[in-house]
Amino acid sequence: MNDISTREDLLLLVNEFYRKATIDPVIGHFFTEVIKLDFSEHIPLIASFWENILLDGTSYKGGTMVKHIMLNRLSPMQPEHFERWLGLWEQTVTSHFEGPKALEAVNRAHSIAGIMQFKVGAHGNAG
């Protein structure tokens, strides 16, 4: 397997991730019911996000946290949602790529999920 090195690699990765995520029983509803995403727009946008992170791209202009805070208001995100997102992301990365950028994609996803989970207040239920 090759490492992540091009935008085309990222488009493959993001497409494959959403193929799994949209039908997932734990997180699929966020993409298909809570917010009905237009994947023809969303996939290139998320590929740009990862291109900025992994390949020093400049096309993504932000707004990720605010969008997820708004999503959380519509349907609260719980720790298990973040765990499933991370599991699917890692599985998708490692089934298509290997190398330093693939490892960085997994590690950065964990970092992003931790920050996002804190910002949206998804700390689990007490009791």
The answer to whether position 102 is within a domain reads: yes
The answer to whether position 125 is within a domain reads: no
The whole-number average pLDDT for the span 4-23 is: 97
pTM: 0.88
The whole-number average pLDDT for the span 1-24 is: 97
Long-range Cβ pairs for the range 43-51 (8 Å, 24+): 43/11, 43/14, 43/15, 43/18, 44/11, 46/14, 47/7, 47/10, 47/11, 47/13, 47/14, 50/10, 50/13, 50/14, 50/105, 51/7, 51/10
Q: How many domains does the chain have?
A: 1
Q: CA-to-CA distance for 126 and 32, rounded, in angstroms?
A: 29
71-103 tens-digit pLDDT: 888 899 999 999 999 999 999 999 999 999 999
Domain that holds residue 84: 7-120
The enclosing domain of 11 has a CATH number of 1.10.490.10
The answer to whether position 65 is within a domain reads: yes
